[in-house]
Structures are given as C-alpha cells and as structure tokens.
C-alpha cells in the first residue's frame, strides 16, 4: 500500500511543479525521488513488519522507475490540460 501512496505523491508533485513552471527534467527528477524516499521512510518507521523488512530494498529500487513514470504522467497531464485551454 505504501508504494501506491508514494506513486500518487510523485504524480501530484509532478503536476504541481508543472503549474509552477519548472523545467521538465528537473520537475520529474525531483518528483520521482519522493517514491523511494516514502518507501525508505516507511521501512524505518515500521521496522517490525517482517514482510516489508524483507522486500523494502527491492521496492525502493523499483519505485525509482515507477516514480519517474508517475511524475512524468502528472507533468504531461498538466501540459495537455494547459494546451487544451489555450
């Protein structure tokens, strides 16, 4: 469940940074780093969960790729909405 929340956060931050007129590469890179940070935060806040303790390093590494995808999707969605308004 943590990965879904982290990816939604990356999507929302990617969209927000597009509204703030950040460059695409910088906005997507910053937003995509939120996914592995959220996973690592949960790994250290909830260390007693044995399944999460076993898989958190793989999940954090994989969430970098999916964070990039989610942040790019949020960024592109805002770009498409702004073009449609103009």
* Number of domains composing the chain: 1
Q: Which domain holds residue 13?
A: 2-85
Q: CB atoms < 10 A from the CB of 27, how many?
A: 24
Does the model's pTM come out above 0.95?
A: no
Rounded CA-CA distance 77/69 in Å is 12
Specify the residue for token string 């592109």. 76
Match 């995808």 to its residue by tokens. 69
Per-residue pLDDT of the chain (86 residues; tens, 9 = 90+): 778 888 999 999 999 999 999 999 999 999 999 888 888 888 888 777 777 778 888 888 898 999 999 999 999 999 999 999 86
3-class SS string, 15-50: HHHHHCCCCHHHHHHHHHCHHHHHHHHHHHHCCCCH
């Amino acid at each position: 469940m943590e990965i879904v929340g982290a990816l939604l956060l990356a999507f929302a931050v990617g969209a927000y940074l597009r509204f703030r007129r950040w460059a695409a590469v910088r906005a997507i890179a910053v937003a995509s780093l939120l996914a592995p940070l959220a996973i690592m935060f949960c790994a250290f806040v909830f260390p007693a969960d044995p399944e999460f303790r076993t898989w958190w390093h793989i999940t954090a590494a994989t969430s970098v790729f999916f964070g990039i995808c989610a942040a790019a999707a949020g960024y592109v969605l805002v770009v498409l909405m702004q073009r449609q308004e103009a």
